[in-house]
Chain A
Amino acid sequence: MTGYLIRRVGQALVVVLGVMIITFIMIHLEPGSAARAYLGVKATPSRIAEFNATYGLNESLPRQFLSYLNHLLHANFGISYYYQEPVSTLIAQRIPSDIFLVGTSSVLAVIIALPMGIYQAVRRNSLSDNLLTSVTFTLYSMPDFFFAFLLIALFAIQLHWLPPGFVQNQNSSLSLLGILAEPTALILPVTLLTFTSISSWSRFMRSSAIDTLTQDFIKVVRAKGLPERLVLSRHVLRNSSLTIITLLGLSLPSVVVGAVITEYVFNYPGLGLLFLDAATEHDFPILMASELIIGVATVVGNLAADVAYGALDPRIRHGV
């Protein structure tokens, strides 16, 4: 197991380095330099030269990459062109908000999707199963921004129950505390993310629970006379939740970086929004950092899911 972990972490490091190289190349693919993209077409040559000198963009690409890596090792993500603040500060300020938003909705989604999938599997092809399947299928096929629109149209515009998004002014803080100061504005984004996760997770859960229910060991525990409640909670739930573990692992990047569309719709000041603004502003240091964070989160999520497999299901043993 230890050898397996070491090998996986080693591979993960290579993968993350690869992600960084790809992103770095992508960002510098741009016709013209970062300076022109950031300063605009009207920038004077002297202004561009000054910009390039400030951010070390005169060096060759490999050299720039190496110095970027060197800064990284000192926990320095560079200075944002747009905000003129260290990228690490900007990101550290926003990560808690994302963990809160996506974490809350993921937990809610698991709490609802797990029993829902098992219920559908037990009652498969009944009226209630078909009804739930239709609803989740429609939700799943709906662009999330349209679902957000429906929520806003109903709860904010028609009923006036909830605010359509977060209000930001100069006094409001961008940190998690600032967000928690507007608790009613949190309801719609959390609902949106919860329902989008449920719509895909419950489908996986249903099919995986159907698989589990046909296994022989379920027949055995039923034959032993175990109450159905325990059959479902001890055996079906545990065996089918492997699927959810994978999905949770795959969704780790979004826990860290937030959900770009949701944050955009509801003006939620998380990393997703920071990132989107950085993309429009050509703020490359932020883009690089975001890609790096998402890359690491993806790799860690996969690794965590694989390790969790082994813990939950002894039949899956790691290391060949």
Chain B
Amino acid sequence: MASSTEAGAPLTGEAQATVGAAATPAGGEIHTTGSGRLTLSAFAHNRQAQVGIGLVVSIALFCFVGPFVYHTNQGTSGLNLLNENLPPGTGHPLGTDQYGYDILGRLMVGGQSSLELGFAVAMATSVIGTLYGAIAGLAPRWIDGVMMRVLDALLAVPSLVLLLILVNIFTPNLFMIITLLTLLSWLVVARLVRGEVLSLRIRDYVHASRMMGGRTWRILNRHMLPNAIGVVIVNATFTISDSIYTLSALSFLGLGLPPPASDWGTMLSDGITYLYDGYWWMVYPPAIILILTVIGFNLIGDALRDSLDVRLQRR
């Protein structure tokens, strides 16, 4: 907050972008550890980070390498209807679901779409948000003002609600959900990057670079983006878990990916509809792996944030 006022920008909305920082007057100032290497080493020695990375790497291996080791039929043809709702046993270590899909195999396939979705949304939002935020931060004040009001308006559009409308109108597929989630979640990145750029703009080394004749583009590339990348990465980590989470909520409301595609949220909500039949093996495996994944990414995000000593907004 302090940084934006120093830069002469309106306080509007900046308050909400610094939830964690509200208690300290200088909360908006970002203190990086100086060099990226220091940050990395702090990160590597962080217990949270180790656990988080361990979780995420093993789950990713499970989803993407698992199918080469453990072969199951996850297509639409050749499914044996007699295999419906089998409890865990020989041949199906985690049982089968209501279509006769093997659940262990299904977890791998579903995990692929969940993880792909998370990473794709995180990448896309980071790129779009960084560009928008950097342009707003460097542009003349009135352009910045207009760009920020547009952002405010978009932020005031409730995302779950909008997703519900759109998913109802179009039949969802993975690409479409990725696009929609991206359109709804780049806003936070843009706001964070703009804040960073505003505070970096008045640093001495940026002034020095400008005085030596550095062009805006060079200043942006060499001085601002490397410094702002920390908040972007932290936010991207949380975006991954948020997207996986949102997809599961959509699936629960019956608006997720239609079969034969699947994701953990769909599996979980399908399982929950059999709540009264006692098919526990349809509920707990996807729930546990979904929660572990989200915990993993949240741990990594927290650890990254700690090692960057950045207090950023957690939606």
Contacts and interface: CB of A to CB of B under 8 A. Distances in A.
A143 B245 contact: yes
A153 B149 contact: no
A302 to B, nearest CB: 6
Contact of B150 (A18, A316, A320): A18
**Chain B CB within 10 Å — which of A26, A211, A279, A309 has the most?**
A279
Contacts of A30: 169
Contacts of A264: 253
Interface string A26-37: 110110000001
Contact of B20 (A153, A208, A215): A208
Interface string A265-307: 0000000000110011010000100110011001100100110
Contacts of A19: 153, 156-157
A143 B252 contact: yes
B202 interface: no
B238 to A, nearest CB: 11
Contacts of B248: 143, 145
Main secondary structure of the interface of B (DSSP, over half): helix
B2 to A, nearest CB: 9
Interface in B1-54: 1, 5, 8, 10-13, 15-16, 19-20, 22-25
Contacts of A305: 15-16
Interface stretch (A41-49, A89-97, A243-251): A243-251
Nearest to A32: B169
B276 A157 contact: yes
Main secondary structure of the interface of A (DSSP, over half): helix
A17 B1 CA distance: 26
Contacts of A142: 287, 291, 294
A319 to B, nearest CB: 8
B241 A141 contact: yes
B15 A146 contact: no
B227 interface: no
A23 interface: yes
**Chain A CB within 10 Å — which of B8, B168, B295 has the most?**
B168
Interface of A: 8, 11, 14-16, 18-19, 22-23, 26-27, 29-30, 37, 137-138, 140-146, 149, 152-153, 157, 200, 203-204, 207-208, 211-212, 215, 239-240, 242-243, 245-247, 249-250, 253, 257, 260-261, 264, 275-276, 279-280, 282, 287, 290-291, 294-295, 298-299, 302, 305-306, 309, 315-316, 318, 320
Interface of B: 1, 5, 8, 10-13, 15-16, 19-20, 22-25, 149-150, 152-158, 160-162, 164-166, 168-169, 241, 245, 248-249, 252-253, 265, 268-269, 272, 275-276, 283, 287, 290-291, 294-295, 298-299, 311, 314
